[in-house]
Amino acid sequence: MLLVLVALLVMAIGMWKVFSKAGHPGWAAFIPILNLYFLCKTAGRPGWWLILLFIPLVQFVIFIVLIFDLAKVFGKGLGFALGLLFFGFIFFPILGLGKSEYRNPVAI
């Protein structure tokens, strides 16, 4: 249980830095639903996509699209996006604390 809490804390710190690089408030990474809203905004998707994340089965597709778009706006490729998807507790800190720079969102 402690290991899971540490992994979540490390991931939230990585998200804090990712949000900060994108010009959003970093503290939003620690607030459960608000962090999904800012994940949408950082990935270049509209904020109303948050609603789609509460629809069963649709949420999986939307989350995958968000993660791939997030990788794109930081100039990362498919491999990094898969890392974010499956090992977010490792790849979010790499993205946030690394030298990656936030680019303009790819989506409207």
pLDDT surpasses 70 at 92: yes
**Which pLDDT does position 108 carry in this prediction?**
46
15-46 pLDDT tens trace: 999 999 999 999 999 999 999 999 999 999 99
Work out whether the CA dihedral 13, 15, 16, 20 comes out positive or negative. Answer: positive
Nearest alpha carbon to residue 40 among 30, 29, 26, 50: 50
Mean pLDDT of 57-86: 96
Supply the pLDDT for residue 18.
96
User: Model-level pTM?
Assistant: 0.90
CB of 23 closer than 8 Å to CB of 101: no
Q: Does the structure show a pLDDT above 70 at 106? A: no
